[in-house]
């Protein structure tokens, strides 16, 4: 009896150490998909934590390699080259993403439209370039999600306009954070966050406290050297658990047109092919990034009234919209903590 007691006691001691002393937060951040991808998780075994994080990062790179419009070998680039001529066979995964995009196009009356790229690909925000008026008007007819024909039985897609091009920039990052969370769940992780730029999803809580996700003040001051993460840019802090949140902002990718003084940014109105004015930031809360990501872009295009009406018509979502005067608008499900953000330079 006694001889067996020691190993049992020892075992208890070791497992106690493992759960209380060694368990900790692990996190990593990498530049993927043209943005910063972050993973934070709670784990007892550092080796499992390392494997889980690297599996999420590998998945992010795989998604980027498949659906980037900038990589000539991606499945998306192949579709953009070939779907104009005849139906192209696509993967089940791309089919699911295009199908979801078309759902949000119909739901938003065309405000969300992945064929925005027919015009959108002629913008280069880093170089400060935009399409000429003629080019924009010529290509406008190629922005129309109804000209994207998805055939689920034959697994093909075809474009019904010779200049039509698609870009998944408004939906792929939300899809990617969901994939990241699913992978962490396979590793039995129960407390984590995965983010890709403005799209985040939190799993569980922060062990007894909620996760706190900040919404940036679109016109807030940023510290030199670190324009993205300085504390004074955070306008609203949200305590969250088991939620996805996607923010679309006009401050992420933009330049100021030297002639007109207008802010030319990366969210385009499919009806005009021009950057949307009126709101500066839209955040959508909901169960999955695959929905909150396209919805945040759609609401940005629709503006406050029609955008909030769309959110109210779908169940399970909430919205926080900051307009160009700095006023904060909330969907009915939320209690407003902050009603205005400082716009002073």
Decide if 74 contacts 68 (C-beta within 8 A).
Answer: yes
Can you tell me whether residue 74 is helix, strand or coil? coil
The answer to whether residue 296 forms part of the interface with Mg ion (CB under 5 A) is yes
The answer to whether 169 contacts ligand ADP (rule: CB under 6 A) is yes
Interaction between residue 318 and ligand ADP (CB under 6 A): no
Measure the CA–CA gap between 229 and 246, rounded to whole angstroms: 16
The DSSP 8-state label assigned to residue 340 in this structure reads B
With beta carbons less than 8 A apart as the criterion, state whether 274 and 267 touch: no
Q: Looking at 105, 108, 243, 297, which residue binds Mg ion (CB under 5 A)?
A: 297
Q: Among residue numbers 237 through 276, which ones bind ligand ADP (CB under 6 A)?
A: 246, 248, 252, 266-268, 270
Q: From the list 199, 250, 291, 318, which residue makes contact with ligand ADP (rule: CB under 6 A)?
A: 199
Strand partners, 29: 38
Q: Residues 6 or more apart from 148 whose CB is under 8 A from it?
A: 98, 102, 114, 115, 157, 159, 160, 164, 166
Binding mask 3-42 for ligand ADP (x = CB under 6 A): ----------------------------------------
Name which position in 38, 180, 197, 307 contacts ligand ADP (CB under 6 A): 197
**Torsion over CA: 310, 238, 334, 189 (sign):** positive
Q: Which is closer to Mg ion, CB of 26 or CB of 290?
A: 290
Our CB check for ligand ADP shows the closer of 198 and 307 to be: 198
Range 234-253, binding Mg ion (CB under 5 A): 246, 248
- In angstroms, give the least distance from the CB of 5 to ligand ADP: 58
Six-digit token pair at 120?
A: 């959108």
**Interface with Mg ion in residues 158-187 (CB under 5 A):** 170
Please name the residues in contact with 44: beta carbons below 8 A apart, sequence gap of 6 or more: 18, 19, 22, 23
- CB-nearer residue toward Mg ion: 157 or 177: 177
- Partnered with residue 31 across adjacent β-strands are 36
Q: How many beta carbons lie within 10 A of that of residue 125, not counting itself? A: 15
Asked if 281 is part of the footprint of ligand ADP (rule: CB under 6 A), the reply reads no
User: Of 245, 238, 261, 264, whose CA–CA distance to 253 is shortest?
Assistant: 264
Nearer to ligand ADP by C-beta: 158 or 200? 200
Widest pairwise Cα distance in the chain: 90
> Which pair of tokens denotes residue 169?
């920039």
Q: By CB under 6 A, name the one of 293, 303, 310, 341 that touches ligand ADP.
A: 293
Nearer to Mg ion, 41 or 76 (CB): 76
Q: How many chain residues interact with Mg ion (CB under 5 A)?
A: 6
Residues that bind ligand ADP (CB under 6 A): 112-114, 116, 167, 169-170, 173, 197-199, 246, 248, 252, 266-268, 270, 293, 296-297, 301
Query: Under the rule (CB under 5 A), what is the footprint of Mg ion?
Result: 170, 246, 248, 293, 296-297
């Amino acid at each position: 009896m006694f001889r067996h007691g020691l190993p049992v006691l020892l075992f208890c001691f070791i497992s106690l150490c493992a759960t209380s002393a060694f368990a900790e937060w692990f996190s990593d951040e990498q530049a993927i998909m043209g943005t910063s991808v972050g993973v934070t998780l709670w784990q007892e075994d550092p080796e499992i934590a390392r494997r889980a994080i690297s599996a999420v990062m590998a998945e992010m790179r795989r998604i980027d390699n498949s659906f980037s419009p900038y990589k000539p070998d991606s499945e998306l680039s192949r579709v953009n080259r070939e779907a104009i001529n005849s139906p192209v066979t696509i993967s089940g995964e791309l089919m699911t993403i295009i199908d979801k995009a078309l759902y949000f196009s119909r739901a938003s009356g065309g405000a969300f439209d992945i064929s925005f790229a027919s015009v959108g690909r002629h913008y280069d925000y880093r170089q400060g370039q935009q399409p000429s008026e003629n080019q924009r008007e010529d290509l406008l007819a190629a922005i129309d999600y109804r000209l994207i024909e998805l055939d689920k039985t034959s697994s093909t897609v075809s474009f019904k306009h010779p200049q039509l091009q698609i870009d998944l920039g408004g939906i792929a990052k939300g899809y990617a954070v969901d994939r990241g969370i699913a992978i962490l769940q396979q590793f039995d992780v129960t407390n984590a966050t995965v983010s890709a730029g403005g799209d985040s999803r939190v799993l569980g809580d922060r062990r007894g406290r909620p996760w706190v996700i900040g919404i940036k003040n679109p016109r807030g001051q940023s510290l030199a050297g670190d324009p993205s993460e300085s504390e004074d840019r955070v306008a609203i802090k949200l305590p969250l658990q088991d939620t996805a949140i996607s923010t679309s902002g006009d401050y992420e990718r933009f330049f100021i047109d030297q002639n007109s003084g207008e802010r030319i940014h990366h969210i385009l109105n499919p009806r005009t092919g021009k950057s949307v004015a009126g709101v500066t930031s839209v955040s959508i809360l909901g169960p999955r990034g695959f929905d909150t990501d396209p919805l945040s872009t759609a609401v940005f295009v629709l503006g406050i009234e029609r955008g909030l009406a769309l959110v109210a018509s779908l169940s399970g979502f909430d919205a926080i919209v900051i307009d160009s005067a700095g006023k904060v608008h909330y969907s009915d499900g939320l209690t407003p903590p902050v009603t205005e953000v400082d716009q002073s330079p």
